Amino acid sequence: MPPSRRRVVVTQRFFDQATIDYLEQAGCEVVQADLPPGQADGNLSHDELVRHLAGAAGWIVGHARVTRELMAALPDLRIVSRRGVGYDRVDLAAAGDLGKVVCIAVGGNHESVADHTLALMLAVGHRFRETQARMIGGDWSILLGTDLYRKTVGVIGPGRIGRSVVQRLAGFEAEVLVHGGSPDAGYAARSGVTWVDLDELLVRSDYVTIHAPLTPETRFIIDAGALARMKPAAFLINTARGGLVDDAALLDALRNGVIAGAGLDVFLSEADPAFKPVTQALLELPNVIATPHSGASSREGLDRTNMVAARCVVAVLDGGDPPAECVVADGRKG
């Protein structure tokens, strides 16, 4: 395929027409990868990605691994724009070395993920899965659930998503404990949260929800020791990244009543297939509510995130700068 200065390849599903129109009006040729049903770009091999991206100047990507080898094989590629905010699958150092720009879609999906987080809290606390399964089998007996109202909720990672969760928890009159980042006295006073260390958060919280980035420092921030410090009646929610939680330790804790339940949108097996049996075992537990990394996948959230990613692409192809908060690597600056 011959190169095109304005060719933009989209390897994500659910790319809305309004965003396509915006790119085309900006002089871009939009090519949507024709993926088989049920396949995401994270399943594409290096050779398949090279084939899809040949001649592209811009790439709007989902969960594909963006390696040094891949970027080196795509000399026309100027910008990798993630429809999302995580970038642990992108080799940022390589992007800088190879003169590429890497952007994330900051501000597009945090409200959707926050909604999803509260949904998981309510679903696992009120035992929706267990109740419906019993009803399907003809058992309409009542299982006692756990309120979110006036409970203590620990938020690990007070970024955009974490703070959107805090905002929603105000309606439940929850006491909110926060861990991570630099304590912000002004935000704490306005929102009524309290910054605490991780141990205090774990010991005191009825619900623990994780919204931290995955880094070497945060990997397995919830391990067997952390789970043992939580209340036996507490619930763990993870809508951030697989790898923040030691899923094998979580499985053991749930089986043995160390904690009461979990709401999970992400799994360690997404990055490490060796953990697929652990994921499957978690999915089969009655006290687990699970979704397939779909927290950001509302119609509205995807439309917003598509547009943020597209605006970053156009800015770079026009020779300008995307919003500073969206840029995680800029190899143009040497």
Q: Residues with catalytic annotation?
A: 241, 270, 293
| Of 331, 333, 334, nearest in space to 91 by CA | 331
Contacts of 272 (CB under 8 A, 6+ apart): none
Say how far apart CA 291 and CA 113 lie, in whole Å. Answer: 12
Say how far apart CA 145 and CA 247 lie, in whole Å. Answer: 24
Q: Tell me, what DSSP letter sits at residue 283?
A: H
Say how far apart CA 282 and CA 255 lie, in whole Å. Answer: 9
Determine which helix (DSSP H) or strand (DSSP E) holds 49, and give its type and residue range: helix 46-53
Asked if 138 and 130 count as a contact pair (C-beta separation under 8 A), the reply is no
| Of 196, 222, 224, 190, nearest in space to 209 by CA | 222
Contacts of 159 (CB under 8 A, 6+ apart): 110, 181, 211, 212, 213
Q: Which residues make beta-bridge pairs with 79? A: 58, 101
Asked if 314 and 308 count as a contact pair (C-beta separation under 8 A), the reply is no
